A = this chain, B = another copy of it.
Amino acid sequence: MPTPNKAVVLVSGGLDSATVLAIAREAGYELHALSLDYGQRHHFELESAVRVCQAASVASHVVFPLDTRIFCGSALTNDIPVPHQRSDAEIGDGIPVTYVPARNTIFLAVALGLAESIVATDIYIGVNAVDYSGYPDCRPEFISAFETTANLGTKVGVEGTHITVHTPLVSLTKSEIIQRGLQLGVDYGLTRSCYDPDTKGVSCGECDSCRLRLKGFHETGVADPIEYQR
C-alpha cells in the first residue's frame, strides 16, 4: 500500500473545519491538524478542536500559540462587546468587529510553515464565501493570491512541487456544508461555533456565528445536536 500524502488542515473546532477535516480524510490524506490558539476569549473552541481531531483519527494535532493581543481592534481577543441580534441584512454587510486583523493570512502562513516542515504540499482551510460574515480573507481571490505567495516563498514551491490550498467549502451554503458533513459521518455535537458562550461553554444562539449555524441546520431540516442558552 502506498504511503498516503500528508495534508495540513486548519481546525478551529467549528462546524466548517470539522467538515473540511472529513473531506480531507475522504480524499485519502494523512491528516496533520493545526489549531491556532490566538487568545480567543473562549477556550471552548480549542477544546472542540481537540475532540474533532480525535474523532477524525488525525496523525498529529499541533496547537500553535499565537498572541494576537498586540492587535487591539478585535472583539474576539479584547473587551469590545460582541454584537448580538444583528438582522440578516446586517450579517454579511460590511466587516464585523469580530474581525481579527490579517487572520487567515497569519493562519495560512503558519500552516505553510508546518506543511513545509513535514513535507506536505496540501493545505486545507474551511473558508466560505457564501455565508461568510464579511471577512475579506475568506474570498477565493485571496486564497489564490496566498497560494501563489506560498509557491514563491518556500523551498518546496521553488523546487517544483506545487503547494495547493484547498477550500472545499468556498462555494457551499451552510446547509450544503452540513449535508456534506453528515454524509461523511461528522459528529457536529463535538463542534462549537459561538463567539460568546457562557462560562460552561454553552452557545449563546444569538451571535452571527450561532445564527448562521442554526439557519444552516434549519434549512437542512436536521436538529443541531449542540445545546444553546436560548
Contact = CB atoms under 8 A, between A and B. Distances in A.
B136 A101 contact: no
Contacts of A112: 101-102, 105-106
B116 A102 contact: yes
A9 interface: no
B148 A73 contact: no
A67 interface: yes
Interface string A150-176: 101111011000000000000000000
A2 interface: no
Interface string A108-129: 1110111111000000000000
Given A105-B109, A114-B71, A153 B149 contact: no
A104 interface: yes
Main SS of the interface on chain A? Answer: helix
Contacts of A155: 95, 99, 101, 136
A72 interface: yes
A136 B116 contact: no
Contacts of A153: 102, 104-105, 136-137, 142, 145-146
A109 B71 CA distance: 12
A68 interface: yes
A146 B146 CA distance: 7
Given A71-B116, A141-B152, 13 more contacts: A64-B67, A65-B67, A101-B112, A102-B112, A102-B153, A103-B113, A105-B154, A106-B110, A106-B112, A109-B109, A136-B152, A139-B152, A142-B149
Interface of A: 62, 64-68, 70-73, 95, 99-106, 108-110, 112-117, 136-137, 139, 141-142, 145-146, 148-150, 152-155, 157-158
28 contacts: A62-B70, A64-B70, A72-B117, A73-B117, A95-B155, A95-B158, A101-B115, A101-B116, A101-B155, A102-B109, A102-B110, A102-B113, A102-B115, A102-B116, A102-B153, A105-B113, A106-B113, A136-B153, A136-B155, A136-B158, A137-B152, A137-B153, A142-B153, A145-B145, A146-B149, A146-B153, A148-B148, A148-B149
